[in-house]
Structure 1
Amino acid sequence: MKPLKAGNSAATGMLDPGIGLEQARQFANMTQVTTLQTFAPLAKMMQANLETWAEILAFAQRRTKAQAALWQSLAQCNSPDDSLNAQRDFVERMTDDYTVEGTNLADLAQRNMSEMATSLSVQINGRAAE
C-alpha cells in the first residue's frame, strides 16, 4: 500500500488527485480516529456535567414535592402541636435527604473525575494510568 503523498492538504480537506481510493480511506480513518481521541476527554466532561445536572434536578424535584407535602400536612393540622410535629418531621427528612444527596454527588464527582483522568491518560500515554 502506498503512503499518502506529501502534497495533500489536510487543512483544506483536499487530497492529491493521484492517490488511490484505499489511501483516501486510510487517511479518512486515521483522521476520524485522531478526532475521536482528541475529543474523548471533552465528551467525558460533557457527560459528567449532564449526569451531575440530572442528579441535581432530580433532587430538586424530590425536595419540591416534599415541600408541597409539608404544606398539605400543615393545612390539615388541628393544633399548634400538630403543626410543630409536621415541621419537625419535614426538617428531619430534609436533613437526611441532603446528607444522602451530598454523598451521591460526591460519589458521582469521584467516578466522573476518575473516568476523565483515564480518558486523558489514554490520550496522552496511549494507555490508562496504573
Structure 2
Amino acid sequence: MAVFRLKVMDIVEVIRISWDSLRANKLRSLLTMLGVIIGVSAVILLVSIGEGARKYIRKELGGLGANILIVVPGKTAKEGGMHMGTSSVRKLVYDDALLLKRRSAHIQYSVPVVVGTSWVKYRKNKRDTYVVGVTDEYFP
C-alpha cells in the first residue's frame, strides 16, 4: 500500500511542477501548443488530401471498367544487342481493328487510335501540336 501511495504522490508532484512551469513560461507554452496544433493539423490535412485524391483516381479509373482490352503491336521481351533503329514489328492498321471485332462475339467496340504530332492550321494561326485520332465508336 505504501508503494501505491508513493506513486500517487509522485504523479501529483509531477502535475504540480508541470502546471507551475506552464504558468511561469506562458509565451513558450503558447508557442509550443501552437506548434503542436499546426503540426497535427498539417498531417491531418495532407492525409485527407491524399485519401481524397486516391478515391477520386480510383473512381475515375473504375469508370473505365474491367472489360477494356488495349492491343499494342510489339514484342513483350527484349533481346540483347544494339538497337539499329529498324523494327520488324508489324504495325496495326484500321483493318486489324475491324477484324478483331468481326472474329469475336465478345467484342462490343473496336476503336483504332492513332497518335502523333502534326502542324495544325486555322486561318493565319499555325501550330505544331499533339494529335489523337479515333473513330466514332470511341464515343458510344
TM-score normalized with structure 2 length: 0.32
Larger radius of gyration: 2
Between 1 and 2, higher relative CO (CA 8 Å, sep ≥ 6) is seen in 1
**Structure with higher strand content:** 2
TM-score normalized with structure 1 length: 0.34
